[in-house]
Amino acid sequence: MKVIVEDLYYSYPGKDVLKGVNLNLSETEIMCIVGPNGSGKSTLVKCVEGLQKARSGKIMFDGKDASGFSRPEIARLIGYVPQSSSQLFSSSVFDTVLMGRKPYYSWRCSDEDIDIVANILQLMELDDLAMDDFNNLSGGQQQRVLIARALAQMPKLLLLDEPTSALDISHQLEVMEIIYDLVHSRQIGVMMVIHDLNLASRYADSIVMLYEGRVFADGCARDTLTKSNIEEVYGVEASIHDLEGTLSVTPVRRVKKEWRRN
């Protein structure tokens, strides 16, 4: 699904978070949103998902204004994977993934829904955990279950809020590879908030660098993850190497800079 964000403004009481964000996501693309804490990354994703209402600006899904979609309609278009999901009373993995079918049924799920979930569990290699309690899984397994639930929604766009931040390096790569394969096998778009610049440079088709509520840089890794951009946005001096075609960013030291106030 083509997503266009136009001049998006969002503010909490007393604080402007997004100050005119523009971006463009094509049907099959991994877009990584990077930027320092408080730059508005999660807020941007929540605005696209419709969890938060922008103050002004436009979000378009395939040329149609997003505000015209009902919640169940959005749930059939967009799969949202939150940073973490805590269940007060734990459901089984199968039941948790089955929740992703909720946008398609009103009272009882059908046999077809169970079919779809079984297939997705296999795809995500969760079949051995199917009857386990969600709360008893490790962080990486929980993340896979949440992605599986989003896939059960049969979405055209996946929104992920820091899917790798709680994972060890092996599971980080696992999750990124799963997402990479999905985008190309199912022709879906991905918008992902991520802190790890190396993962972003390796897997993203485009990188959006947010800084103080605005898009600071936008484009491929080579254009966005530059020494000067990183210094300006994060206040960190970094050394950047080209490793077999992908950029590797190593932070070296913090540099003093005058924090711009608004």
Residue 60 sits in the site that holds another protein (CB under 8 A): no
Q: Give the integer Cα–Cα distance in Å for 142 and 148.
A: 10
Segment contacting another protein (CB under 8 A): 10-18, 119-127, 212-220, 228-236?
119-127
Select the span of 31-39, 122-130, 167-175, 191-199 touching another protein (CB under 8 A): 122-130
DSSP H stretches of helix in 92-215: 93-98, 111-123, 139-152, 169-186, 197-203
Cβ within 8 Å of residue 217, ≥6 positions away: 207, 208, 209, 223, 224, 226, 229, 233
Place of tokens 């296999």: 122
- Indicate whether 135 belongs to the interface with another protein (CB under 8 A): yes
Site for another protein in 143-182 (CB under 8 A): 153
Q: Among positive and negative, which fits the CA dihedral 122, 124, 125, 127?
A: negative
Report the residue number, 145 or 247, with the smaller CB distance to another protein.
145
Number of residues that bind another protein (CB under 8 A): 45
What is the C-alpha separation between 166 and 231, in angstroms, rounded?
Answer: 25
- As a whole number of angstroms, the distance between CA 147 and CA 158 comes to 9
Q: Nearer to another protein by C-beta: 49 or 212?
A: 49
Residue 127 beta carbon to another protein: minimum distance, rounded to whole angstroms:
5
Give the binding range for another protein (CB under 8 A) out of 54-62, 118-126, 198-206, 253-261.
118-126
Classified as helix, coil or strand, 168 is: coil
Closer by beta carbon to another protein, 42 or else 229: 42
User: Is residue 118 involved in binding another protein (CB under 8 A)?
Assistant: yes
The rounded distance, in Å, linking the Cα atoms of 96 and 133 is 9
Which of 158, 247 has the CB closer to another protein? Answer: 158
Smallest CA-to-CA distance from 193 within 224, 151, 163, 226 is with 163
Note the residues at the interface with another protein (CB under 8 A). 46, 49-51, 71-76, 78-80, 82, 85-92, 94-96, 99-100, 102-103, 107-108, 114-115, 117-119, 121-122, 127, 130-131, 133, 135-136, 153
